[in-house]
Amino acid sequence: MTSITFPDDYECALTIDHKAPSCNRLYALADEDFGRYTSVSVLRHFIEGEQLGPAPSSIDYWAGLIMLSSSYADIYPEKVKRYLPEGYRSNYSALQLSEPFIDKTPQSLVKIFSDTALMKQAIAEILSHTQIAVSSEPEIIAQRICDL
């Protein structure tokens, strides 16, 4: 297998240092430094498919956040469980597009993310629209999400 050689002045907006990534995004979760991809880029690839995560488009960003904050995440190494939620912290706009909250303003999202009780209600609403079942307590999940 041959590798790709990038010129020294190559710039990539998907990486944290804007240089060529150290691996394909498909392997970013297995790479020691996540291929130098930004957490948002790795998260998008994880949620939207192919990134050792759910099948493409099988869950939305809210369901993915709930899963990463619950016992579902136990299959991933600690560094992955820390890195993927950073993508959410850096990009709340992905959450604004989800169906249950499509009409919510950014101000109300900030309020939801700062109040565990409101987050617990949001989780219940999201889970009622999905086919995932979580074994973790909704209160624990809500607290983990609010702690982002």
- Distances, alpha carbon 108 to alpha carbons 16, 96, 105, 115, in Å: 30, 10, 5, 11
Torsion angle in degrees (nearest 10) through CA of 29, 35, 38, 39: 10
| Per-residue model confidence as pLDDT tens digits over 26-74 | 889 899 999 999 998 898 888 876 545 555 556 778 888 888 898 888 9
Provide the token pair at 129.
Answer: 């629209």
Percent of the chain whose pLDDT exceeds 90: 13
Q: 136 pLDDT band (50/70/90 cuts)? A: confident
Q: Rounded distance, CA 62 to CA 132, Å? A: 12
Q: Rounded distance, CA 130 to CA 110, Å? A: 23
In this structure, how many other beta carbons lie within 10 angstroms of the beta carbon of residue 117?
11
Q: Rounded distance, CA 25 to CA 50, Å? A: 9
102 pLDDT above the threshold of 80: no
